[in-house]
Amino acid sequence: MRYFGGCDSGSTYTKCVIIDENGKMVADVTLKSRINAVLSCQDALDQAVAQVPDLNSAQDLTYLVGTGYGRNKVPFADENISEISCHAMGVHVADPSVKAIIDIGGQDVKGIAVDTDGTVLNFAMNDKCAAGTGRFFEAMARAFEMDLDEFSCLSLKAKNVIPITAQCTVFAESEVISLVGEGKPMDEIAAGIELSVAKRCFVMSKKAGAVDHITLTGGCAKNAGLKAAIEQVLKLKVTELPIDPQLMGALGAAEFARQKGM
């Protein structure tokens, strides 16, 4: 049996997926990224390889593709492919019915339109500011003195929405701290935060031409409050993936590795 790997070196998390020659996922790892991207990738690869009895090291993989923010830092990679292409391919592998993606990573937001073979039709990216990204949500959770899981569910309890007007992470954090200090309901402030990010996602998806059968990828795809806000803004139900949405980049990279290495 031959095995193929994909390593997604993100700014916040490093993900690794190994699939066999039939495309079956046999190993996956998600680790918090360290300052040294090479060490993060090596750790992820080592832990993924340890899940496959036939493999002793990443060098035993038939083909390995690196992707993500630090894709040039993946040890032993045979090739590097952009995270946009890998997310599109990963989602296509997970659910071929999906035609559009909103990817919310640690430092950017992307809208991606996907063709019937998993290639990218078009995309749009907001990479000028951290607002609306994983870093933004970390800052907001910090302002609420909550962990991310607790914060992501807070807005679901809100009966009203307090709008957040700041378009910058730093200013938005100050605005949120002021609202909390004024004694405004925290769930309604959280609802305003989720709605402001959902509107950014709407703009990115429209710029990419993504209109239907949409799913979310990246770590923020697990934010229940954000998912509900996006469904409200887009006026459609977001498709749930059968595989962890945070792994889509690594899965797509592994699938590209399989196609190129077979």
pLDDT digits (tens, 9 = 90+) for 117-130: 999 999 998 756 65
Question: Which of the four pLDDT bands, split at 50, 70 and 90, describes residue 211?
Answer: confident
Asked if residues 193 and 140 have their Cβ atoms less than 8 Å apart, the reply is yes
**What is the model's pTM?**
0.91
**Residue 132 reports pLDDT greater than 70:** no
**Please, is 180 exposed, middle or buried when counting C-beta atoms within 10 Å of its C-beta (0-12, 13-18, 19+)?**
middle
pLDDT tens, position by position, 43-90: 999 999 999 999 999 999 999 999 998 999 999 999 999 999 999 999
Which CATH architecture group holds 97-240?
2-Layer Sandwich (3.30)
Domain 1-95+243-261 has CATH 3.30.70.20: no
Chain centre distance of CA 144:
23
Specify the pairing of strand 79-80 against strand 100-104.
unpaired
pLDDT tens, position by position, 169-206: 677 778 888 888 888 999 999 999 889 888 888 888 88
Does 97-240 match 1-95+243-261 at the fold level?
A: yes
Per domain, the residue ranges of the chain are 1-95+243-261, 97-240
- Residue 65, pLDDT score: 98
